[in-house]
Structure 1
Amino acid sequence: MKLIPAVDLLGGKAVRLYEGRPETATVYGDPLEAALRWQEEGADLLHLVDLDRALGQGDNREALRTIARHLRIPFQVGGGIRSLETLQEVLDLGAHRAVVGTVAVKDPGLLERMLALAGPKRLALALDARGLRVVVSGWQEEVPLSALDLLGRWAGMGVRTVIYTDVRRDGTLKGLDLEVVAQVRAAWPHELIVGGGIGSPEDLEGLKALWVEGALLGKALYEGRVSLRRAG
């Protein structure tokens, strides 16, 4: 299973939110320093999120460009990618793939055009949910759609990578809801990456037992609960 450090950017800083709420941000300093730290500790893929763009309050494009110039490993970028132009901008950064959430839920037509532009290898979809209740727009809006139904729709469109995040647990270090993860795993036959609440090596073992292909690690890394070197 691939361990993927997440670097979330808010106001030019590396942060972690609690349950996705911007007012709860814990600041961890320079996002470039964080990205380089995880690279040096052995990560072979980074997950970068522009929270300002996701929330519709600006962007961190200059910071992302700086990180992209310094990385030797692949990286993926998410947060506020809601147009073909923004998607192309992320791909032009050199991103291994772009991560799309709100559009994937609310605009199937635009999602099809994004898949045509990027291809399934360079486009991953974010399934952000409170359990199985889907949320969009920087996790601020709940939509009346079943996460499991969405997975069936996306598979039929040719999507091959989904990143499931349980917003109820994100940034809490409380551990995963493995019963929900098991339902997502059963509904999704392709590459699955899971985040939201990982707080210990035991959580990673739980994901491995479900044959999950990747784990997103945020606060657990910053707080020393999980080590890339020991867990990798």
Structure 2
Amino acid sequence: MRCILACDLKGGIVVKGVRGERSRYGPIALSSRVVDTSDPAGVIGKIKPKETYIADLDRIMGAGDHLAIIKTLTGMTRTMADTGVSSAADFDLACSVSHAVVIGTETAPLSVIEQRQGPKAIVSLDMKNGAMMCRDPAFNTTPMRALKLLDRFELGAVILLDVGRVGAGAGIDVPFVTSAASASRHGIIVGGGVRSVEDLELLEKCGASGAIVASAVHDGRIPLSMLRD
């Protein structure tokens, strides 16, 4: 079971994600019990995660980027970066600074997944409160149907990311994760809602191969050792 640290970057610092309401995201140091800095390299240096999911919120929102910072972090931890990919060129740029690239349905058309499929491509099914967030009409369907669309591609993994659960302590949607893990030919990584070690154990029983965590780490509910193994 992969335990992957989430690192949201905005304005040059690590911020705390809350329900996908990006205008409300504040410096992680203001709420964390495990780090006293919001500097990205400082956060990664303190937590020392084996794997890190990095969301470049500025680039996703079209307000600058953190590509140089991501490249630095890639020298410290194994990275998968969501930089708001919307084209094959965007994918290639992100691939130059990270180990793997997250292609999110919020910003990318299906054609980019087809063009850049392979072990370095990780598709994120972006959702808010169970409803798909998508640019391509092909994904404007139920999450399960969207998931099945991906079976024809070679991918490193699929992320089920419900931003409505991020930082909300909402817990795991057990029926959905179980169905998704059973139906998909790809490894399933769950993001949003993970509250505790018990939730991680539950996800493993559901058939998930990994989880993306942040709030429960910074609250001290998930020990740093689980991110380092």
Q: Which AA in structure 1 matches 2:217?
A: L
Q: Which AA in structure 2 matches 1:12?
A: G
User: Using the alignment, how far apart are the partners of 2:50 and 2:71 within structure 1?
Assistant: 19
Q: Is the aligned partner of 1:20 residue 2:20?
A: yes
3-state SS, counterpart of residue 225 of structure 1? coil
Report if aligned partners of 1:82, 1:102 keep a CA contact under 8 Å in 2: no
How many residues are matched? Answer: 216
Sequence identity of aligned pairs in percent?
26
3-state SS, counterpart of residue 168 of structure 2? coil
Q: Is the aligned partner of 1:99 residue 2:102?
A: yes
3-state SS, counterpart of residue 59 of structure 1? coil
Report if aligned partners of 1:87, 1:114 keep a CA contact under 8 Å in 2: yes
Cα 1:63–1:113, aligned 2, differ >3 Å: closer, same or farther? same
Q: Which runs of 5+ in 1 are unaligned?
A: 138-142
Q: Is the aligned partner of 1:67 residue 2:73?
A: yes
Q: Which AA in structure 2 matches 1:127?
A: L
Q: Residues 194-231 of structure 1, C-alpha deviation per residue, up to 9 Å, x if partnerless? A: 11011111111110111211110111111212113157
Q: Is the aligned partner of 1:83 residue 2:87?
A: yes
Q: Which AA in structure 2 matches 1:97?
A: A
Query: Of residues 116, 132, 135 in structure 2, which corresponds to 1:134?
Result: 132
Q: Which AA in structure 2 matches 1:45?
A: E
User: Using the alignment, how far apart are the partners of 2:112 and 2:88 within structure 1?
Assistant: 8
Report if aligned partners of 1:3, 1:216 keep a CA contact under 8 Å in 2: yes
Matched with 2:157 is 161
User: Using the alignment, how far apart are the partners of 1:63 and 1:45 within structure 2?
Assistant: 16
Deviating beyond 6 angstroms after TM superposition, the runs of 4 or more aligned structure 1 residues are none
User: Using the alignment, how far apart are the partners of 1:213 and 1:45 within structure 2?
Assistant: 13
Matched with 1:124 is 122
Query: Of residues 182, 206, 211 in structure 2, which corresponds to 1:215?
Result: 211
Q: Give the alignment's Cα RMSD to 1 decimal.
A: 2.0
3-state SS, counterpart of residue 171 of structure 1? coil
Q: Is the aligned partner of 1:8 residue 2:8?
A: yes
| Offset of residue 86 of structure 1 | 2.0
| Offset of residue 98 of structure 1 | 0.4
Cα 1:100–1:107, aligned 2, differ >3 Å: closer, same or farther? same
User: Using the alignment, how far apart are the partners of 1:85 and 1:106 within structure 2?
Assistant: 12
Q: Which AA in structure 2 matches 1:52?
A: D
Q: Is the aligned partner of 1:44 residue 2:42?
A: no
3-state SS, counterpart of residue 168 of structure 1? coil
Report if aligned partners of 1:8, 1:51 keep a CA contact under 8 Å in 2: yes
Q: Residues 17-50 of structure 1, C-alpha deviation per residue, up to 9 Å, x if partnerless? A: 21111122131211111122232xxx32111110
Q: Which AA in structure 2 matches 1:11?
A: G
Normalising by structure 2, we get a TM-score of 0.86
Normalising by structure 1, we get a TM-score of 0.85
Q: Is the aligned partner of 1:197 residue 2:193?
A: yes
Q: Which AA in structure 1 matches 2:173?
A: D
User: Using the alignment, how far apart are the partners of 1:2 and 1:124 within structure 2?
Assistant: 14
Report if aligned partners of 1:3, 1:228 keep a CA contact under 8 Å in 2: no
| Offset of residue 164 of structure 1 | 0.7
3-state SS, counterpart of residue 186 of structure 1? helix
